Structure 1
Amino acid sequence: MDSGTATVSHGFMDGCYLKDDAYNGAATLVSFHLLRFGLFTVMLIVVGPFVFRIVAAFFDLERDFKSIVDHFDDVTGGLMYVYILFTLGNYSHTFGWVTVVFYFVGLLAYSALSWLPFMAVSIPTWRTWSAEAWLVNTIGLVLILVGAGFHIRWASQAEILQWYLPLFVLATASVWSPVIVKWLQHYCIDNCPDALGIERRTRWAALAIVIPRSGAARRKYQAEEEHQLAVLRERAEQYAATREPSATRQSRGSDNDCDDDSYRPLSMAIGTTPVATQRSSDTGTAMPNTNNNSTSRLNMPHEPPAQPHAITLTHTQKQEMIERKLRNLHYNNANSDGSMPLYRYQLHLHHWQIFYILAFFTRFDEFASRACAGVVLGIFTHGHAAYGLDPLMERKGER
């Protein structure tokens, strides 16, 4: 492309736009300018918050204490918000000295309002507001609606109203959709808490499919059974050792010397030979053990277990294996064998969220629109600099 040829945008949904069009970028959804982005970012997450904290410390304004780690989290978290806002809000073309001036006007003016005793309120407590708080907030709402009317008019003139209003509804979904999510959470807790265990059901289905076909699972199950058998064998040998001295066991030469009914069934059940004699297959008489190590079989080391052989798990065994595994799901914050951490929530709409959304739609190359952009950006900065990027839904009983 020749250097003298200008790039022209043809619609609101066009791609990255770097030069002016008839609406100075207002008709383009995505735009980016590296230098302006850098200045925009420094203003919103470094200079603005620093100025507020100094002013708040001087006048002892309401704010949360923040450590170095808290400030670092605000900066790293704010980078994501600022990047999205810059690229979708047309600040590549509208960010300038007007926005900067009114940014600090909005930041300091809102700080002054929060200093007033009757303005120490939040939106969830609107039922307890004083008359003065209602007056100030009503004036603010009227100013927002008047500004919205001008921006809708400019959108109509730029022929993008068919995109402007639907995208505004989509952007505000971050405010109204949590109402639905909260209702669904409370409904499930009250009526069908088991329905929230879909991950457990998914894991159960996977185990039901894999375990019957898994040779490794069958071998593991068999190894567990053989281990239990080895434990029983060891207990039987220890029991036999306490019943009679080893010298007596070595001197016995016939089965008649081992008629203890309490010992014989246990040894037979686990496959041990409690006497140190061998019976002649021909004569049926007891023959002495001629092994050089003429000791009782009970005193000999354990024989190695038999090699695993293919087994088929019964339905009950499969279910036992599945339930045993389901009691050890990999949740870091909950015991899968107990109740899941299901909490009730309340909505807490913060002013940083409201004015952050509005900042996406002050995208027009008009002095008033740039001034409005500065004001809403300043109020957004006050919210995250004073309190942090708090979530919209909070657990009941927590701030």
Structure 2
Amino acid sequence: MNTVSVEILKDLYYMGVNDRETNLFENMWPLPEGVAYNSYLITDEKTALLDTVKITKVDGFIDSLKDNLGGRNLDYLVVHHMEPDHSGCIKTVRDLYPEVTIVGNKKTKSMMSDYLDIEIGNFVEVKDGDTLDLGNRKLTFVNTPMVHWPESMVSYESTDKILFSQDIFGGFGALNGTIFDDEMNFEFFQDEMRRYYSNIVGKYSKQAAKALQKVKALDINIICPVHGIVWRTNPDRIVDEYIKYANQVNEEGVVIAYGSMYGNTEKMADYLARFLAEEGIKNVKVFDVSKTHVSYILSEIWKYKGVIIGSCTYNNSVYPNVNQLLYTLKMNKLNNHVLGIFGSYGWSGGAVKELSEFASEGGNFEVVPTVVETKGTMKEDDVEGLKKMAKEMAGLLKAE
């Protein structure tokens, strides 16, 4: 079954596709659980398709669209977001329904020209607060720029109190028969939802927090995002979760991420983890940056307040895979974290120096005072230093 079509309410259809073939989202982020692309169709006095799906799923999507329209024409195509996994079928839909009116904001129109290289044709430009009357249902538009593209917007249907939220409230993971929140365990979806937010939207958390203030003020019964599950029973849960993500509200716990060539830095990480446990920190996650993709490490850092980064010295510098982690963390503008650093070197240092520079410019950190730098393998003084670092980290976390 290429496209899953489910009636959400009378004259409102979910039309989504599961993508289990793509290995890397945006050619960067692993998709071991796949991903869903969601579209919605309203068949009121006027018909409106809300976004499309990735072009690789076009055949089944068009078949589902025709079936749900039941021979009717398509009056409107609402474009909330121009990213190709949601705009991929616009040309096909326009070819099939040449009289369709496309609805978007000013930036949408220019991006359609840039990305699709088509004559736009009938186009209605909407601004904040503008309304599209479909009959019994009316869509009111709210611009959410840079959440996470400049043209991004959402729409609110006031009759049934439905928010069509584009990428907001989305998550990684194919929908394995479960379309709605009351059909699945939230915990089953939560990790991939947080990994989606932290890697795709995280950089724009300041803008996301502003957009979520607008959303929180709405009376919402159902949330229809373009990735992930449809929230028809407890939409407040995903709204509150996203508000927590956007404001980087995190839990007590520590993520230790290290890069090691010959095991010396890895040994330091394991000692640190043990010392943290002895200090009463129950949530400790240890990651080898050469084994675990950075997207998973970032997601766990988004969850936990404590971050400790360790690196061996490589060519008088930080280990390359640690450098990739530092770049990712800096790009995503971390806030509200406690940071510790440690490292090792053979004959000439460099890694800890660069980690210290990151501590001062890579985000808004409270930095643990003790830094441990080992020459070769750990000595007794280094072990004592790691104990002290663990005690300081635990103290700062528990003080919160």
Tell me the TM-score range normalised by the shorter chain: under 0.3
Higher relative contact order (CA 8 A, sep 6+): 1
Q: What TM-score do the two structures reach when normalised by structure 2?
A: 0.22
Structure with the higher fraction of residues in strand conformation = 2
Q: What TM-score do the two structures reach when normalised by structure 1?
A: 0.22
